[in-house]
Chain A
Amino acid sequence: MKGRTMSNRSKHGWWTAVALLGTLLLTAAFAQKPTFLIANWQGYGSDLPWVVQAFEQECNCTVKQVDFGSEQQLLNMLKQGGVGKIDVALPNSTYIRYAIDDGLVQPIDVARLSNYHELIPGLTQLDALKKGGQVYGVPWLWGTVGIGYNPDLVKAPVQGYAALWDKQYAGKATFNDDPVIAVMTAAVYLGEDPYHPDLAKVKQALLDQKRLDVTYWATTDDFTKLYTSKQIDIGNVWSGLATQIQANGYPIKYVTPKDVITWVDNWVIVKNAPHPDLAYKWIDFMISQTFQDRYARDLKQQPPSPANQIVAESLPADQRQTFQTSSVLETNIPQATYNAWSQLWTEVKTTPVKPLP
């Protein structure tokens, strides 16, 4: 008897499953809305409710986002099944080169983007976005990695990256956990060519710098916690993050050194994107004044600088940054160089040093 009850029950479960599956299939068949798939960092503009709503209305589609936590993860995601499923993605000015070289993205016909001409020319002219005379990336937002410090506690004038090596901040400093930023910052500090520095000197400089730090910071949250709890007085920091901290009521001074390290995030259309037309619409929306203005003025969103020149010039003075083609751009770093820098940074991070008193 017992066995029979069991089998009835399992049969019942089976039919439920069939019914559910059927309902799902029917829903899918009747709801013909395409699903537009974006790959981006979590909480970085494209997943804001108002943005998703606005685009879903315009495109009559469902917008979905897959998050990545590092640029390398984005590349892996594209290589391991993302191509053919993801429509658009957002690599930075270093990684876009690897995506183009590996054939993960497709050329963009910029004539189809009605807002393209409003972009800052210095950004659209970047070599990294092009290959063989074709454009592969559309600049969206950019920012600098300068120095943030607590004006109540740091009284000496802070100008260049040398402040990160100033022994008076021992035990009160932090440094960004990123191989490219680390090597380039040390190179600028040493007066070396930031793209071809003497790696032995860079490594020693980074080990010396480490003696001043209490910890490295990797995420927005890391830096914000360290700064607002007054564990640190000074550190290198993204421009947008400094703006956000200030907007949340914690005074912070942001200094842009002369040879400031600068990054640019760019939209790409993934190779074999299922919805290329929507991809063009999306990118056009992302670089439009509508998006760029509202996003740039929402200071709590940690907005970097807008690539739309009209929006950039309309911002209040304390938020406005001018893109300098002469700055140290995080771009044109060959994959082998990147690997060597990455190895160096790992060594620095895991080498024990004696903290400065």
Chain B
Amino acid sequence: MSGHSRPKTPLERLAEAAALAALLGIMLAVARLSPAVPVAWQRGGRDIAAVGFFLLAGTLASNLLEVLRLPHLTGYLLAGIVVGPYVLHAVDHDTVADLSVVNSLALSLIALAGGAELRLDSLRRGLRSLGVATLVQNGLALVLVPLVFVLARPIIPFAREMDWAPLLAVALLWGVVAITRSPSAVMGILSQTRPQGPLTDFAVGFVMTSDVVVVVLMALVVTTVRPLLDPTATVSLAAFLELGHEILGSIAIGTTLGLALAAYLRFVGRQILLVLLVIGLVLVEVISYLHFEWLLTFLTAGFVVQNLSRQGDRLLHSVERTGEVVYVIFFATAGAHLDLPLVGRLWLAAVLLFAARAGTALVGSRLSGRFAADSPALRRWGWAPLVPQAGLSLGIASKIAGEFPAFGPQFGALAVAAVALNEMAGPVLFKIALDRAGETGAAHPATGRGPEPTPPARPGAALPS
């Protein structure tokens, strides 16, 4: 966001810290002056002020955290957490809920950018890595994470009294939550650091396509475990028919949208911001109304623009420009959403499940790296982009919770706690990985190490650097 050309002086940092404190002071003073439950005329003002504050505070906090080499995204999240309803309460629950409207806009931009980052030639060269990693990572996560869940039964309140069959079912459902990744966090880090290399290509390819994998696996697992939770239930394949319709329809609409976007960029090329707003605010609703998957639709659209036209870079540039503002608000709002008291109550189980998931990703990365003969950098750091989780994970957890009301609320609460840890730690780990793999161009004064060596490329073996 700040994208400055020279390092900031201590005085400039001080000015930013003072400005952040002043803004926070105004926000708190206004919150104290206003009634706890705002009257109708104050509600709009409260929401508008919160958007502005999140944008300013998130940006300033991220600038200040640059000193610690933390990703900007962490600054946005922290700003949201600190001013949100669980810490300083400068922004209340209702306002945070109202601001969720920005989510669809941010996620649609992320999906478009993610699709446009998937270049066919890179994908083709890294197909083996991606395929092997998808199989190994998801397979391991669906075995190891549920195993840890079962073993952690004594510290998971709602699982303690369960019989073995339902416990196994719930553990498998937890495995589905564990295989969700965060396209938003990955794209947020990429948008800040603009890295290039095999880890970057792998991260984009894996995380963007994981959306489809998760949707399919969720349908499969939910259908399979239902008889374990409800003895009267039978296995029905109707869900797969609906799923197939949803996926194919989304790809078809995405292709059409991508071609239309490419034509617009080629022949008109103006007012792209407004076109993106129409896509993120209006088209999202239309696609949801038609029961298609809008993330997949926009992912396809971005992919089509990048690979079937010459407008890919232009689209990426426009999305990045818009995203620079939208992502700050999106992540700060996500930070404000984090239910810290809940994380506090479930911290032991959440930490254990977080560690199990990260550990699984690490083991999976080593294994798949060996099978696919990946580059050392990818073998060493390929797990890091798989750690972040955010809104998509909570969405999946919420869907599962809705499907099984008997334990749904407790399952959802545990998911919030675990996702919170992944949301905070994941982006930091991914940025460190990109720095250490030498793909951000950042020097490493702490270690003094340069980029890790990449072996000579072997056909079909590894992603290119």
A binds B: no
